[in-house]
Chain A
Amino acid sequence: METIKTWNFFRGYVIIRVEGLTLERFLNLAANNDIYLWDINRIDYTLLEMKATIDGFKALKEVVKKVGCRTEIVDKKGLPFILYKLRYRKMLGLGFVIFLCIIIFLSSLIWHIEIIGNDKVKTEDIRSVLEQENIKKGIIKYKLDKDYIEYLLLNEFDIFSFLSVDIKGTKLIIEVKEQDLPPEKIDTDTPCNIIASKRGVIEKAIARNGKAVVKKGDVVDKGQTLITGVISDEYSEEQIFVHAEGEVLAKTVYSQIINEPIIKTIEKETGRVYERRQLKIGNKGVQFFKGDIPYKDYIESVREVKLFDIDLNLPIKLLVHEYKEVKKEEIKQNIDLLKQSNHIKAVEELNKQLSSGAQIESKDVGHSIKDNVLSTHVVIEVIEDIGEKSIIDSNYKEDID
C-alpha cells in the first residue's frame, strides 16, 4: 500500500470534489473509461470527494460532460506540483544548489588527522613530518597519495614496522605498529669495556675476554669499569684493545616503603544522586543551575551525553555532572592484616623492578607505626649480572697512543 502511495506522490495527484445528482453513474463511467480513482468518500447526498491522477483528471472532463455534474479541485499534491511551485522560487533552488555544493566541498576536505598506535614516537613528530609535505588539516582528500604517505613515514621513522593510511569520511587515519628495536649489539671486533649498570657489591667476576679489574667484595658504582678491554703488557709499553666479555655477578639492594594510614576514612555512597547539566560549545560552557549542591560531601563525575548517534567529534557537547552523596566514616583497620597487605604490595612493586635473571638472596621486612601511619619497609638483596658493554672511545685510544 505504501509503495502505491509513494508512486502516486511522485506522479502527482489531485483531490477533487464532484457535485451532481447521478454520482453513481459518474463512478461507473469513470471505471469503464479506465480512469483510476481512489479514496472515494461520500460527503453529502450530492457531493463526492476523491483522488485522481493528473491524467485521470483531464480524462474526467468527458465523463463530467456526459453526466452533467461539476468538479472542483480541493488540493494538489505530489512532486510535480512542488516542482511547479519551485519554478517561481528560483532563489530557493539556487540556495539548495549552493548548499549541496558546500556540503560536497566540505566533505571532501580532511578535517582531522588521527594517528594511532605510536608509543615511542611522538604524535607531534609524525604530524610535523606530514606538515612538511603539506599534509595537514584542510587539504582536499582526493589529492592525497596514500602510498606516498606510507613511503614517507616508513622512511622517516625506522621504528615503524607496519603502517596503514586510511581515509574515512573527513578523517585521515594513520595506524602504525612500532617494532621493539633490539638493544644495540656491539660487534665482537670492536673493543669494549664492561661497566656496571648499577650499584652493587661484587660476588663474582668472570672474564672470558679482557681483564677483570674488580674482585669479590668490591663495592662498585654505576658506570665503573668491571672488565676492561685494555690490556697492557708488562714487558712492553704497547696496549692491546680487546672486546671484553664476561659475567659480573653482584649483590644489589632494592627497597620499597609502603605507607598506609591505620585509621582510614571511607567514603560511602548513600545512593542519593544530584544531576546538573551543562551544554558545552567549543570551550565555553553553559550550566543549567538548579540551586546549590545539596550535599556536604560528594563525588563528582562527568559523563557526556551524545546528542547525535554518530562517531564524530562535534563542538557541541552535553555534559551531565553527577554528584553522588557520600558519608565519611572512619574505620580503624586491623594492624596485622594491614602489615600483611603492605608486605604483599611492596613485594609486588619490587618484582616489577627486578631484571629477569635476578636471584633473590635475602628479604628483610620491617614495620613501624608513626602518627597512625603504618610504614612497611621491605629490603631485598639480589644477585644479578650488572655488566653492560660500552665501546672504548676512539679518543681515549688516541690519547693513550
Chain B
Amino acid sequence: MDNKMENFKYNISEALELPKDIVLDLPKIIMVGNIQLNISNHKGIIEYTQEILRINSNIGVIKISGNNLKLKTILSEEIIVRGNIEGIQIIS
C-alpha cells in the first residue's frame, strides 16, 4: 500500500516535472566542492563531532566524515556544514 502510494507520487512528479525532494519528501543534499554541504529536509542530528556528522533523514542516516567539521547553521529545514569533507555515506 505504502509502496504503491510512493510509486504514484513518483509518477506524478515525473509527469508534471515537480521537484522530487518536495513531492517525495526526500532530503536535498548540495555540495560545494569539499568545503561545504547543505542538507535540506533533514530529520535531526544523531551525532556531531569534528570528524563525523550523522544526520537523520527519510532515506536513512546520512553520515558525513571529514575533519574540522563545523555547523554553519542549523534550522529545522536546513543544515549547513563547513569543513574539510572527505566522505558521505547513506546508511538506510
Contacts and interface: CB of A to CB of B under 8 A. Distances in A.
Interface of A: 23-24, 27-28, 30-32, 34, 36-42, 45, 50
A37 B74 contact: yes
B63 to A, nearest CB: 14
B73 A24 contact: no
B67 to A, nearest CB: 12
Contact of B72 (A23, A32, A39): A39
B76 A40 contact: no
Contacts of A34: 75-76
Name the prevailing secondary structure of the B interface residues. strand
Contacts of B71: 27, 37-41, 50
A27 B70 CA distance: 13
Interface residues on B, range: 10 to 19
A42 B74 contact: no
B66 interface: no
* SS class, residues of chain A in contact with chain B: mixed
Count chain B CB atoms within 10 A of each CB in A31, A39, A45 and give the residue with the most.
Answer: A31
Contact of B70 (A28, A32, A40, A45): A40
Contact of A31 (B46, B50, B74): B74
Given A30-B74, A31-B75, A38-B71, 4 more contacts: A38-B73, A38-B74, A39-B71, A45-B49
B48 interface: yes
A39 B80 CA distance: 10
A40 B74 contact: yes
Contacts of A38: 71-74
Contacts of A23: 48
B74 A41 contact: no
A28 B50 contact: no
